Structure 1
Amino acid sequence: MSKFVYIIGTADTKLEELLWLKSCLCSASVDSHIIDVSTGSSNAFHVNNQVDISSAQIAAYHPDGKDAVFCGERGKAVTAMATALARFLQSTVEDISGLIGIGGSGGTALIASAMQTMPIGMPKLMVSTMASGNVEGYVAGMDIAMLYTVTDLNGLNYLSRTILANAANMIAGAVNLAIDHDHIQQPVLGLTMFGVTTPCINQLVALLGEEYESLVFHATGNGGTSMERLIEGRGIVGVLDITLTEVADLLFGGVLACNETRLDCIAQTQTPWIGSAGALDMVNFSERSSIPERYAHRQFVEHNAQVTLMRTTPEENYQLGVWIGNKLNLCNGPVRFIIPEGGFSALDAPGQPFFDPQARQAFKEGLESTVIQTAQRQIIKTPHHINAPEFCSLVIEQFQNVMQHQGTAYDSTPGKSL
């Protein structure tokens, strides 16, 4: 069965652009279908064979029917059409080779939210007037590429033709030159890393050898979100969540915050999980001038011109322990939290600016006073630093024990399995 690139946009305002994209994809030998997501009730573009899938056909996928989409209120209609489009794409996912959307503010919100429900690895490109600013809400930890239109999407001109042709060729390249991953047989693990925990993660990946496919996620807020999307899709069999710094940013106003739902998917999926306190000694801000006034008296390290790190206090570390502990109490699958009493990051070590045994002790007290320990849910303490070989060996030992109980055996000797 042939697969198609779906070209998605509002035909009532952007028909010329949609047709131009289809002609460019045709020139690149890529089959495509135009999907109209206009929130007016007209079906004329489909009747006139200008689009392949009408807005009425998409709207019918809304759980409350197409009347929920064609309600006459733009804001509600756009939200409802986004729901309908997501359900349509999910129902036809096996037929899709790639997605390309075009839109202004409303169209981008509509199409991008539906793209977020598609599998990671499927080519997704959003051509948008909104792509020059903060795109976090549109990307949401997914592999959605965004291309700025430069001019508004208001009919074709020499510049819009060029940019849209570039977009079509980007998708065509992704589709025509797709890599076959069917040969990958290793189970997949998720690991979280920050610059100050890189030595630890590098050691763990080396110890895991070739028996596992190690996916390392940068703990920047979106990194944790991306990892958990894969966990929800059962694409990851185990997690070494060593670096939870995103939680510190969430609780104390940093710029690399995770969502409040962080760790919920571990409880929901019961995925084997080993966590630690990586980089909980810091909250991340942008340039020094961006730091809130309430933190003016605090201890800082300027990582670079755009990144300033603030040391967390003992009181904040206690709160972190309680927050994480409450999340772990929801987990009935195998979870192990390993506290590296020798230091939480490269900056939290003897002679380094964030070295603070009292803060680490406060975290331990917050966590231990909150977690209800069971055979499945355990706190483990080690005197070693998070980047020490001894800590990494302990992580692998616990990983081995957990996976054995899951029916998956692993030998910490590189390249060997039990």
Structure 2
Amino acid sequence: MTADKTILIVGTYDTKDDELTYLAERIKAQGGGVMTMDVSVLGDPSQPCDISKHQVAEAGGSTIQAAIDSGDENVAMQIMAEGAATEALRLYREGAIHGVIVLGGTMGTDLALDVCAALPLGVPKYVVSTVSFSAMLPPERLAADIQMILWAGGLYGLNSVCKSSLSQAAGAVLGAARAVEPPKRDRPLIGMTSFGKTILHYMVKLKPELEKRGYEVAVFHATGMGGRAFESLAAEGAFACVMDFATQEVVNHHMGSGISAGADRVTNAGKQGIPQIVSSACYDLVDLIGWQPIPERLQGRPTHAHNRLLTSVILDTDERREIAGVLGGKLAEAKGPSIFVLPKGGGNEWDRPGAPLHDAEGLAAFNDAMQQAVPDTTDLRVMECHINDDAFSETVLEIFDEWVAQGVVPKGVA
């Protein structure tokens, strides 16, 4: 039977030969094809791989001997990671593979993140790891559509426990390769950040209006991983324009919260020269992991327990001024058209007058500081409204339509 889809299997065949071979057998048993890549350094596989460790090291601009001579396992694995990412992308572009699965512990996972980041959105990418979902995985290294499976009982050798994980992973990656509907890119894509409709409303008005104009709109949930996916695609140049209004992940990162989208949040669209309209939704809140104790320095403040996973704590006046400065610094990195829209009436439904998190003094302080922080390279639009008022969305549409008329943003497709 001819295989319909081919999956690239990546791993250290000198230490995980049996496990990787089992994974390949499970994919083949379902009618899939397999291509193997060895990223070992010291040892060798029991059988030759399609892409040898020597080829991988050379694709990383080095050699296996150089990796060995370094005497440093971290240096050696980074050589292999660069080569594996380069080779995986080459194979995909040549049509030789339709998905990738990487197996490993911390070493293999470190490499796996580079491999997955190198492949575009829509290419199934699975990581079977003993540290899947761990806090040690930095959000800025996660590809927008990476999939992870916890490799239970998989540290050393095959057993019925780890076979359960591996067999599911085999079915998942092959099934994804068969079922995936890659992004069509037949209409210009607008990237937007937001939260749920209970706290932010603008996407309800903006999305259908933009779609009427011939654009596709992707709204990203800015609770750490959503912002990470947004930044990953922005870095690829995937967007024709961004409406990055829910910039609160900047606050999380600045305040040391575990709910972070990475240090580069609110920078990648600007660095790519993508036209950006930015605002300050939820600038006054730091989101914390709800099942962990609130840090001592934040205790005693007004809070909102969104659910058992997430709790929001209000910032004090000085912290709001700090955030204004941080946002201003990120705006200064923009190389393309950049507009900051400041709704002076507030940035989320909980901070309206009479709402539980309203702080008139803190809001005024932020508004003053933000107006000072916006760099000369970014156009500042100050509005006497709340971010959830129709006036905010209408102004955003006016700016967008002006950019389309000027050719700054490509015209939509009817």
Would you call these one fold, judging by a TM-score over 0.5? yes
Partner of 2:267: 264
Q: Conserved in 1, the CA contact under 8 Å of 2:275 and 2:337?
A: yes
Match of 1:146 among 145, 148, 152: 148
Q: Tell me the distance in 2 between the aligned counterparts of 1:166 and 1:74.
A: 30
Match of 1:213 among 213, 216, 219: 216
Partner of 1:90: 89
- 1:298 aligns to 2:315 (yes or no): no
Residue identity opposite 2:54 in structure 1: A
Partner of 2:9: 7
Alpha-carbon distance change, 268 to 289 in structure 1, aligned in 2, over 3 angstroms: closer
- 1:17 aligns to 2:16 (yes or no): no
Residue identity opposite 2:192 in structure 1: L
Match of 2:171 among 155, 169, 172: 169
SS of residue in 2 equivalent to 1:277 = coil
Partner of 1:61: 59
Alpha-carbon distance change, 403 to 312 in structure 1, aligned in 2, over 3 angstroms: farther
Alignment of structure 1 residues 13-162 onto 2, 5 Å = 13-40=15-42, 42-43=43-44, 45=46, 48-49=47-48, 51-71=49-69, 72-94=71-93, 95-131=96-132, 133-134=134-135, 136-137=137-138, 140-162=142-164
Q: Tell me the distance in 1 between the aligned counterparts of 2:286 and 2:328.
A: 19
**Partner deviation per Cα, 1:323-364 (whole Å, 9 max, x = no partner):** 111222232411111111111101011210122232222222
Q: Conserved in 1, the CA contact under 8 Å of 2:5 and 2:178?
A: no
Alpha-carbon distance change, 68 to 4 in structure 1, aligned in 2, over 3 angstroms: farther
Q: Tell me the distance in 2 between the aligned counterparts of 1:103 and 1:37.
A: 11
Q: Tell me the distance in 2 between the aligned counterparts of 1:360 and 1:235.
A: 34
- 1:249 aligns to 2:248 (yes or no): no
Q: Aligned-pair distance for 1:254?
A: 2.5
**Partner deviation per Cα, 1:291-310 (whole Å, 9 max, x = no partner):** 11112232222222332211
**Partner deviation per Cα, 1:150-189 (whole Å, 9 max, x = no partner):** 212422233333331221111111112232654x521101
Match of 1:341 among 326, 341, 344: 344
Q: Tell me the distance in 2 between the aligned counterparts of 1:38 and 1:174.
A: 27
Q: Tell me the distance in 1 between the aligned counterparts of 2:45 and 2:188.
A: 49
Q: Aligned-pair distance for 1:77?
A: 1.4
Match of 1:239 among 234, 242, 256: 242
Q: Conserved in 1, the CA contact under 8 Å of 2:57 and 2:83?
A: yes
Residue identity opposite 2:207 in structure 1: V
Alpha-carbon distance change, 203 to 371 in structure 1, aligned in 2, over 3 angstroms: same
Q: Aligned-pair distance for 1:75?
A: 2.4
Q: Tell me the distance in 2 between the aligned counterparts of 1:408 and 1:288.
A: 43
Question: TM-score scaled by structure 1?
Answer: 0.90
Question: TM-score scaled by structure 2?
Answer: 0.90
Partner of 1:191: 192
Q: Aligned-pair distance for 1:3?
A: 6.3
SS of residue in 2 equivalent to 1:166 = helix
Q: Conserved in 2, the CA contact under 8 Å of 1:317 and 1:359?
A: yes
Partner of 2:380: 379
**Partner deviation per Cα, 1:65-97 (whole Å, 9 max, x = no partner):** 444423332222122211221122233231320
Q: Percent identity?
A: 28
SS of residue in 2 equivalent to 1:96 = coil
Q: Conserved in 1, the CA contact under 8 Å of 2:240 and 2:410?
A: no
Alpha-carbon distance change, 104 to 33 in structure 1, aligned in 2, over 3 angstroms: same
Q: Conserved in 1, the CA contact under 8 Å of 2:270 and 2:276?
A: no
Q: Conserved in 2, the CA contact under 8 Å of 1:62 and 1:84?
A: yes
Match of 1:358 among 358, 361, 374: 361
Q: Tell me the distance in 2 between the aligned counterparts of 1:396 and 1:70.
A: 57
